[in-house]
Structure formats: C-alpha cells, structure tokens
Amino acid sequence: MLGELVAGAAGGLVLIQDTVDCEGRSLLKTFVAASVRRGESVHVFGFEIPEEEFRAGFDPDVAAQLLYQDGFTDPLCWNGKTGGFRVEEFSVLGVVTRLQRGPVGSATIILDSLSWLLLRRPVPALCQTLAQIPRAAANAGLRVTRIVVLLHGDLHPLGLVDTLHSLARAVVWVGPAPEGMRSKEDAHQLASMLQRKGSGKVVKKEEYFSILTGFTLKAFGEPTRNTPPDEDADSHSAVDTAAYLTFNLQLSDTERQARDRVPLPFHFSAQKKSSLLEASAGTGKIYYEPDATDDLDEEDPDDDLDV
Amino acid sequence: QGKFTLLCNTKTNGSFLVHHFLSFYLKAGCKVCFVALLQSFSHYNIIAQKLGVSLTAAKERGQLVFLEGLKSCFGVLFGEEQPGGQTSPFQWISKDGSNLKTMYEFVRTSLMPSASDSWKCPVLLVDELSVLLSLGVRPVDVLDFVHYCRVAVCSQLKGNVVVLVHSSDDSEDEENELVVKSLCHQSNLILWAEGLATGFCKDVHGQLKIIQKGSPKLRAERNLLRIYQYKIQDKNVTFFARGMSAAVL
C-alpha cells in the first residue's frame, strides 16, 4: 500500500508524521522523486533545512525539475533580504502566486515542514489555507493534485495532531522497525498508514520499508502477527518435556481405559445410592435406656423430621 | 563543517561537554563566539586553563568573542549606557515578548570573517539555551534565534553550532521540552549526558548517549547510537563501555 501512495494513489492532503526517533524526510523525498518521475510539477516550500540539503541525494534530472521556494534563509525578514519566501506569505494568495510561476498542468505541493509553520502561524488560519489551496489554484487555472506535508508528531499537543489527521486524506506514521527486522531483511522503518478513499472507506495497514539511493522505495510487506505461533510452541514443548524424564509418567492404552472407568469420589450414581441405602438398613441398631431424670418425649417439637 | 550539535543533559551536569568543545575549537584555530549565559568569564577561564587553553589570551588575539550574559543583562536592566550607542545583544530582556534578533545580529557580526582574520571555520557555542526560557523568552523566539544562527553560521559561513540545553524525562516544563525536541529534529549530532538510572556513584558520573544522524543524502540510514559511561577527573574525562568502569573490574 505504501508503494501505491507514493505512486500517487491518494490525492488531497497527505500527512507524513515522524518523531525524534525516526525521521520522515526521506519518505517525503521519495514522494517528491516519484512525483517528478510521473511528470508533475513539484513545488517545494522548505523551511527547516537549506535548499542544498533538500536537493542532496536526488538524481540530477529530478533535482533540476524541483521548483523550490526558500523559506529557510530569511523567513522572518531579520536580514532584510528579498527573494526568499517569508512566513507571512504562506496564505492562499501567496502560495497560488508562487504556483503560477511554474508550468501549468498538474502540480504537487510539498511542505517541509508543517510543524515549522504551526509554531509560527495561527492554527485555524493554517488549516483553512491548506484546505483552500486546491480550489484557489483551480480558479487560477492550475490543478493541484496533492499536498504532501511533513509533520513532527512529538512537537504538538495530541488534539492538534488529531485535527490535522481529520483534514488529511492519507496519514503515514513513520517509526523505526524492530531490531529483528532490521538485521534480517534490511527493512529500516515501519510505516503505519491510514487512507480515506473517495467512497468513504477507510483502509489501515502496516508495512516495513526502506529507502534506496535516489529516493526510491522498497516495500517489504506487512509485519506478521506473532501470537498464534507462540501458543503452538507451548503445547509442543509440554509434550516434549514428558518424554525426557527418568521415571514413567505416560499411560499405556489399557491403563488409560481403566483410569477412565474409575468413578469420581463424589459422583452420585445409581450404584452408590443403592449401596448407601442397603447399608442403612440391617446393621447398627441403637439401644437406649432412659435415665430417671430424662424427659423423653417421642413427639417432634419442631415438626421438621421427615420420618 | 556546517554541523549543528546538540548537547543535552538530564539529571546531571553536562557542562564538561561545553568546556571540552570550547578548548577543542580554540586549539584547532577556529574563531569562536561563546554566548555564556550560565557562568561568569572567570569560571570558564579557570577550567579552560586546566585543559590547556587561556581564554584571556584568545580574547586578546581576537579568536574568541565572549558574550558574558551575567554582566550584560545586569547592564541592560539597570540602564547603563552602551559604548558607542550600540544596542546591547540583551536589549530584549527589558521588553516583554520581543524576539532575540539583537542577539542574533551580535553573533553574526562577531563571526563574520574580516580581512585580517586567518582563523578556520567559525563556531558558535551557547551555554545554555534553557536559561533563555527562564528569562521569559517564548519558545518560538528561542527556536527562531537558533534557526537564524544555523542559517548564518552553518549554511552561509560553513561553521559549526554547538548548543547546550537541559531536559528531563518527566518534565512538566512543556516549553522546554518543545525546544529540546525541535532541536533534536534539526541537529546532526546529539550528545546526551544522563545521570545513572540507579543514582549517584563516585566512580561513574554518568552516561553519555551519542546519536549521529545519517547523512542528508540518505537520511533513512539508521541513526548511529552509542552509549558510554564516563568519569570526570580534574583535567580530562575518561569514557568506558557500560559496566566496564575500572572500579568494578
């Protein structure tokens, strides 16, 4: 499923969420490379890393086609330089103006990163901007097919992150793969994906992946569920340990049949009932001589003896 | 070249890393701008002398630009006139809600290479960033300051930036944790000094976690993680693998 997402299966807002333990920028660059190879124009709004660092690692023909808006060098205008992308320019109008400088046709917008903007712009305005960009671009004659953003999940409160998830068509959580997978099959990272399709169906999946040189994706398939094999292993080991004892704990067939035939101690069968009743009649009569002081009354004072 | 190193300390004092980097870069012949917010100049000078570097001599020959936070803040708050009418780097301390632009400009002008300089790459050293939050600066302003320092020092001047922050695992200080996590995302190398989980020990002062992020070409390489324990002595620090302290073997 990750391969399909990278190949453009999801339109609208695609969110890549990473944490300090595992960065998601390389997956973002994989989306970029795939988009360029499909012939779309890719507009990158970069705030967190310098342009050279973002372009590093791409194939030269891919890097040459990126339309980079530099929000790293002077976003707050402290140096007074013009030409870069300032943080105030990130509005519907500002973004569409920059998009119009590129070729017409389908466009993909890449945002590196949304966390940077969320810390410096009011959140509702930012969410509205993201939602309105495709429509405003269509009015200006451009077609924005998808907006892929990088979000650092551990920098924001959970409520904000959940709100952004509800805005997105697809969310990819990136995390490190467990130790066993990393050494065995060279799968470095685990992606948990959620995609909302046009029909309203929600698809959730997990996949291991790693990213090769030139930012191409290599998917490894889903993690296997581990619990049923553990139960089988336990029962097998129980039978195996009985075979290695110095004394005999096993039963032969005749012994097993004899054991099954023995009645349980408190099992009330017809045989037991009759043996009890026979025992009560005949044996053990009680002879009692009342004393002079005894007041022997044959009647039942409580009227509860069922004789 | 052009690297951002984050020094982090949790439950212990990580300033030995700052002293190490200061003397290391001065001995290597780099021009150093040291924003010292935590201690006075004489404190750093005494320790640097034990490590073989004289800070006064470095200041005189122009290799070291020392911004002494303790003295300069005092000057701004009590209205002393600045020499030559310049704005102090700490001008923001007397205003509420202002950004750290003046401090950034001080850093930029002090590390800008002049014609007479023959130093190697410029280095910015900050000790420590959490103090700025205690002084009332908003976390976003601290992050903006670090951002612009990275722009100027790392990407334009190809120098290095080393920043010390304080953190704790179960901290209730959300602003500090926000700054620390943002810087973790941005840094190339993280040196995390932690106290031992089992408590204070005479022979092992703490544990150092070294996290090296992959190169930008293929960032998806695993972050290289190494953990060492250390003991701080008078003139140096000895590192050893976990559980291999000389006192135990």
| B window 220-239, beta carbon within 8 A of A | 220-223
Would you call A53 an interface residue with chain B, using a CB distance cutoff of 8 Å? yes
Q: Measured between alpha carbons, how far apart are the two ends of chain B, in Å? A: 39
C-alpha closest to that of B130 among B74, B186, B69, B72: B69
**A235-250 average pLDDT score:** 65
Q: Hey, CA dihedral for A99, A103, A108, A111, is it positive or negative?
A: negative
pLDDT of A234 higher than 50: no
Decide if B6 contacts B146 (C-beta within 8 A). no
Decide if A170 contacts A10 (C-beta within 8 A). yes
CB pairs under 8 A between A and B: 67
| B window 134-193, beta carbon within 8 A of A | 139-140, 143-144, 147-148, 151, 154-155, 178, 181-182, 184-186
Q: Which amino acid is at A46?
A: G
pLDDT of A257 higher than 50: yes
At A150 the pLDDT is 92
Would you call A274 an interface residue with chain B, using a CB distance cutoff of 8 Å? no
Q: How far apart, in whole angstroms, are the C-alpha atoms of residue B102 and residue B88?
A: 7
Interchain contact, B219 vs A78, CB within 8 Å? no
Write the ipTM: 0.81
| A window 237-266, beta carbon within 8 A of B | none
Decide if A185 contacts B212 (C-beta within 8 A). no
Query: Side-chain half-sphere of B104: how many Cα atoms within 13 Å?
Result: 22
Q: How far apart, in whole angstroms, are the C-alpha atoms of residue A189 and residue A217?
A: 11
CA A221 to chain CA centroid, Å, is 14
Interchain contact, B220 vs A27, CB within 8 Å? yes
DSSP-derived secondary structure for A23-91: --HHHHHHHHHHHHHTT-EEEEEE-SS-HHHHHTTS-HHHHHTEEEEE-SS-TT-SS---SS--GGG-S
Q: Calculate how close chain B gets to A23, using CA atoms only, in Å.
A: 7
**Residues 6+ positions from B121 with CB-CB distance below 8 Å:** B1, B30, B31, B157, B158, B159, B160
> Where is pLDDT greater, at A249 or A64?
A64
Which residue in the block uniquely carries the two structure tokens 């620090």? B237
Would you call B247 an interface residue with chain A, using a CB distance cutoff of 8 Å? no
Decide if B163 contacts B133 (C-beta within 8 A). no
At B96 the pLDDT is 64
Per-residue pLDDT of chain B (249 residues; tens, 9 = 90+): 778 888 888 877 878 888 888 888 888 888 888 988 888 888 888 888 888 888 888 888 888 888 888 877 777 777 665 554 456 667 777 666 677 888 888 888 888 877 667 778 888 999 888 888 888 888 899 999 999 999 888 888 888 899 998 887 666 788 888 999 999 898 888 888 888 777 777 777 888 888 887 665 544 455 667 777 777 777 777 777 777 776 666
Which residue in the block uniquely carries the two structure tokens 């992606």? A191
Low-confidence winner among A190-194, A238-242, B71-75, B190-194 (lowest mean pLDDT) = A238-242
pLDDT of A240 higher than 70: no
C-alpha closest to that of A15 among A193, A207, A135: A193
Q: List pLDDT tens digits, range A72-89.
A: 888 888 887 777 788 888
- What confidence tier does A151 reach under pLDDT thresholds 50, 70, 90? very high
The DSSP letter of residue B86 is P
CB-nearest partner of A78 from B140, B148, B216: B148
- Provide the CATH topology of domain B12-184: Rossmann fold (3.40.50)
Q: How far apart, in whole angstroms, are the C-alpha atoms of residue A111 and residue A101?
A: 17
CA A189 to chain CA centroid, Å, is 13
Whole-prediction pTM: 0.78
CB-nearest partner of A57 from B155, B186, B217: B217
Interchain contact, A189 vs B140, CB within 8 Å? no
Interchain contact, A23 vs B185, CB within 8 Å? yes
At B15 the pLDDT is 83
Burial letters B195-207, b for 16+ CB under 10 A, else e:
beeeeeeeebbbb
Other CB atoms within 10 A of residue A302 CB: 5
- What confidence tier does A233 reach under pLDDT thresholds 50, 70, 90? very low
Mean pLDDT of the residues in chain A: 81
